[in-house]
Amino acid sequence: MKKWGILTLCLVLAGSLLAGCGNKPSEQAGDTTGSTSEGKTIVLGTSADFPPYEFHKMVDGKDQIVGFDIEIAKQIAADMGAKLEVKDMDFKALLGELSTGRVDFVISGMTPDETRRKQVDFSNNYYKAQQAVVVREADKDKYKTMDSLKGVSFGIQTGSIQEDIAKSIPGAKITGLGKINDIIMQLNSGRVDASIMEKPVAEAFIKNVKGLTIAEAVPEYQEDGYAIGVKKGNKELVDQINKTLDRLKSENKIDQFVSEASDLAAQK
């Protein structure tokens, strides 16, 4: 539940294969933003099924990837004077794509736990959200406590913090899926009984999907919030991203982005 050699460095090392800066072939699953006279591109990896963080939306007749994580990525690119390219993929593939350099940075509601820190470096945290249990409306009264979820079948996004939470529930039967949309379909059709999601994500889905609700049971999970993933050793990019995050926090822009993205996700 997602860089880059700063522009000065890119100019000095133009022509080299520096992670995060360079002209890359277009493989995007979303729109691109920003531009520079030098034509530098920074590639974002994300799993765009996580409203209001990142999700697909028809805007002006075009399918675009939007959300408050995307707005943060646009700001990072703008501060670097770079063009932003967005690649959409399964959440479980993100760190591998980052480690191999096929994407420059990852923003996807990702918690910087110790396992992930062994693979990649992270920025400072930029947001923290509560967890929620999503169930069918008809079953809401069954699940008032976490104990009531023992032995229940869960649809969970593979590789997520929510998967760890579900595994801690005694007897939980877990179906791992790559996309939240697929989990919602499984839940609505009765193939699984519940799912665990970030609360803003859960709220966005239940506004648009009939028959689902948030249960009274609340997962207890201590985590530090979300951060942006960068290829290991790229300290200059981490510093550049942290500088942008500090600016956004000082301007209260992140809360603004969250509010705007939540409103957009709720629109039909």
Residue at a domain's end among 214, 238, 256: 214
Residues 141 and 210 in one domain: yes
> DSSP state, 92?
G
**Counted domains in the chain:** 2
Contact status, residue 2 vs residue 228, Cβ threshold 8 Å:
yes
In terms of domains, do 25 and 86 share one? yes
Compute the average pLDDT of residues 246-254: 95
The range of the structural domain enclosing residue 180 comes to 131-214
Q: In whole numbers, what is the pLDDT of the chain averaged over residues?
A: 85
Give SS3 for 187. Answer: helix
Both 45 and 118 in one domain: the answer is yes
Average pLDDT over residues 207-217: 93
Query: Does 177 lie in the same domain as 87?
Result: no
Which of 57, 58, 63, 11 is CA-nearest to residue 38? 11
Q: Residues 79, 16: one domain?
A: yes
Q: Are residues 239 and 121 in the same domain?
A: yes
Position 22 scores a pLDDT of 38
Determine the pLDDT at residue 268: 66
**For position 186, what pLDDT does the model report?**
95
**CATH number of the domain to which 120 belongs:** 3.40.190.10
Q: Is residue 87 part of a domain?
A: yes
Q: Is residue 83 within 8 Å of 41, Cβ to Cβ?
A: yes
Terminal Cα-to-Cα distance of the chain (whole angstroms): 23
| pLDDT band of 1, cuts 50, 70, 90 | very low
* Packing angle, helices 253-266 and 68-80, rounded to 10: 140
> Quick one: pLDDT band at residue 259, thresholds 50, 70, 90?
confident
Q: By percentage, how much of the chain surpasses pLDDT 90?
A: 65
pLDDT value of residue 266: 72
* Mean pLDDT in residue range 145-155: 97
144: pLDDT strictly greater than 70: yes
Has residue 219 been placed in a domain? no
Q: Is residue 2 part of a domain?
A: no
In single-letter form, the type of residue at position 176 comes to G
> What is the CA angle 160-189-186, rounded to 5?
15
pTM for the model stands at 0.65
